[in-house]
Amino acid sequence: MLEPLEATRVIARPAALDAVRVSPGTLLMRLALDDALVIGGDVQVDDPFAIVVPDSGWVAWRFGEDQLREALVRLCAFEIHAGLNQGMVAGLPAKIWIDGDRSLVIVAAAYAAEFEERFR
């Protein structure tokens, strides 16, 4: 169910992240004012002190809308909306990205096994 996710983590000034540039097709999730997770593309940020590092500490589950409703809603402690959702899913910290037909659940790889066990 869960697959390794190769991503880039960008920590920068909030203003620099507001103006971040990514290549076409890149998915950028703004996790916090100073924190972004970038999947599948290049990223340029105008902050000489930015921390931009590869981040393989995540796994992702790609799913369709029906699966979302069936499997996720009952396990989420928060209301899911389009875009980035962050909160506890089945008692584990998770991120849910909803964008039309491109939706995924992201959890730290250290929680991957536990996440799958709780989803069974």
Partner 1 sequence: MAVALLRQGIHPRGGGCICLGGDCPNCVVEVDGVAYVRSCQVAARPALEVARQTDTPRLPDESRPLETELRTAFADVVVVGQGESGLAAARDADGTVISFDAHRGEEAIGLYAGPTVVAKTPAGMVSVQCSRVVVATGAAEEQPICPGSELDGIFTKRAAESLRAAGIDLGDAVTIDEQPQRFEGSGRVEAVVTAAGDRIAASTVVVDLGLHPRSGLLRMGQGLEVEVVGDAALTDSLPPPPTEGVVCPCSDVTVSDLEAVWDRGFREMELLKRATLAGTGTCQGGVCLPHLRSYLAAKGVSTPAPFTARPLTRQATIGEVAAGYDLPPFRRTALHDEHLRLGATMDRFGAWWRPWRYPDPEAEYWSVRERVSLGDVSTLGKMEISGPDVVALLEKLYPCRVADLKDGQVRYALLLDERGYVLDDGLICRLSEHRFYLTFTSGGASFAEMWVRDWAETFDLDVRILDRTMSLGAINVTGPLARELLRRGGVDSPPAYLAHVDAAVFGVECRIVRLSFTGEVSFELHHPFSDSVELWRRLEEAGADLGSYPHGLDALFTLRLEKGHFIVGMDSEYDSTPRRLGLEWAARLSKPDFVGKQALLRTNRLPLNKRLLGWEMDGPAPIEGAILWQVATPVGQVTSARYSPVLAKTVMLGWLRSDPAEPEGISCDGRPVRHASHPFYDPDGARARA
Q: Which is nearest to 72 in space by CA: 60, 85, 90?
A: 90
Site string for partner 1, 25-44 (x = CB under 8 A): ---------xx---------
Nearer to partner 1 (CB atom), residue 24 or residue 54 = 54
Nearer to partner 1 (CB atom), residue 79 or residue 101 = 79
- What is the C-alpha to C-alpha distance for residues 102 and 46, in angstroms, rounded to an integer? 28
Contact call for residues 1 and 71 (beta carbons, < 8 A): no
11 touching partner 1, by CB under 8 A: yes
Contact call for residues 37 and 55 (beta carbons, < 8 A): yes
Nearer to partner 1 (CB atom), residue 101 or residue 104 = 104
* DSSP H/E element including 118: helix 112-119
Query: Rule CB under 8 A: which residues touch partner 1?
Result: 4, 6, 9, 11-13, 34-35, 47, 49-51, 53-58, 73-74, 76-79, 90-92, 108-114, 118
